[in-house]
Amino acid sequence: MSLSSLYHQSDTRIQTELQTIERAKKDPKHFAPLYNQYHESIYRYVVKRVNDSDLACDITSNVFVKAITNLQKYEFRGVPFSSWLFRIAKSEVYQSFRNQKARRTVSIDKVSIVQVFEELDVDGAEENKAKLTKALRKINEKELALIEMRYFEKRSYREIGEIISVTENNAKVKTFRALQKLKVLFKE
């Protein structure tokens, strides 16, 4: 499975980013390069889950507002800045579900669905799509989020771990268990 390459950064890039963060702590205007760098990935993360372009735009903007207002609290502990932004995005998206502004949506593209069917050892027949939908409805939100990040968004276990605040190994174990459960529910 090919993974998203956006997350993995060189040390030089991380250092440059940290310098920008330090400048932005003093003046929010200096946050612009980080906004330009991460706006697209945050927007994509949000719109896939809320399926409403205007709302996704609004949520994305709020993610950056929160990031800037809480920037003083950000400390680099080996976790990339993008993961910190995704954590805020995750919390904002769930808030929109709680406020009933959006309905939880799972967006699966053509390529991802084929890979999921390969994992489940079945073909892409309509009947199997219906079975997959049924199984995905039955797993809990945490399990769904793991399946979504790993199989529909191609995130590495390391990144998943950083977004959900667990170790890389733990993310791997949790995702494996979620997939096993999905397989069982799929066969029911």
Partner 1 sequence: MRKFLFNYKEPSSEDVRSMRDFDLVLKKIKVQRDYWNNPWFYGAIGFASISSLLIFI
Report the 10 Å Cβ neighbour count for 28: 16
Q: Is 39 a residue that touches partner 1 (CB under 8 A)?
A: yes
Stretch that binds partner 1, among 5-13, 38-46, 79-87, 167-175 (CB under 8 A): 38-46
- Picking from 151, 153, 166, 68, the residue whose alpha carbon sits closest to that of residue 116 is 151
Angle at 111 between CA 105 and CA 117, to 5 degrees: 85
Q: Is 144 a residue that touches partner 1 (CB under 8 A)?
A: yes
Q: Is 109 a residue that touches partner 1 (CB under 8 A)?
A: yes
- Picking from 140, 156, 129, 147, the residue whose alpha carbon sits closest to that of residue 2 is 156
Cβ atoms of 4 and 154 closer than 8 Å: yes
Q: Is 118 a residue that touches partner 1 (CB under 8 A)?
A: no
Cβ atoms of 65 and 111 closer than 8 Å: no
Measured in whole angstroms, the distance separating CA 123 from the mean position of its chain's CA atoms is 27
**Cα 99 to Cα 65: distance, rounded to the nearest angstrom:** 19
Name the minimum Å distance from CB 152 to partner 1: 8
Per CB under 8 A, the list member of 98, 110, 121, 188 interacting with partner 1 is 110
**Residue whose CB is less far from partner 1, 68 or 166:** 68
Q: Is 94 a residue that touches partner 1 (CB under 8 A)?
A: no
Measured between alpha carbons, how far apart are the two ends of the chain, in Å?
26
**Residue whose CB is less far from partner 1, 33 or 173:** 33
Name the minimum Å distance from CB 181 to partner 1: 16
CA atoms within 13 A on the CB side of 96: 25
**Residue whose CB is less far from partner 1, 33 or 165:** 33
Q: Is 142 a residue that touches partner 1 (CB under 8 A)?
A: no
Q: Is 69 a residue that touches partner 1 (CB under 8 A)?
A: yes
Q: Is 37 a residue that touches partner 1 (CB under 8 A)?
A: no
> For binding to partner 1 (CB under 8 A), which residues are involved?
28-29, 31-32, 35-36, 39-40, 43-44, 47-48, 51, 53, 57, 60-62, 64-65, 68-69, 103-110, 113, 129, 133, 136-137, 144
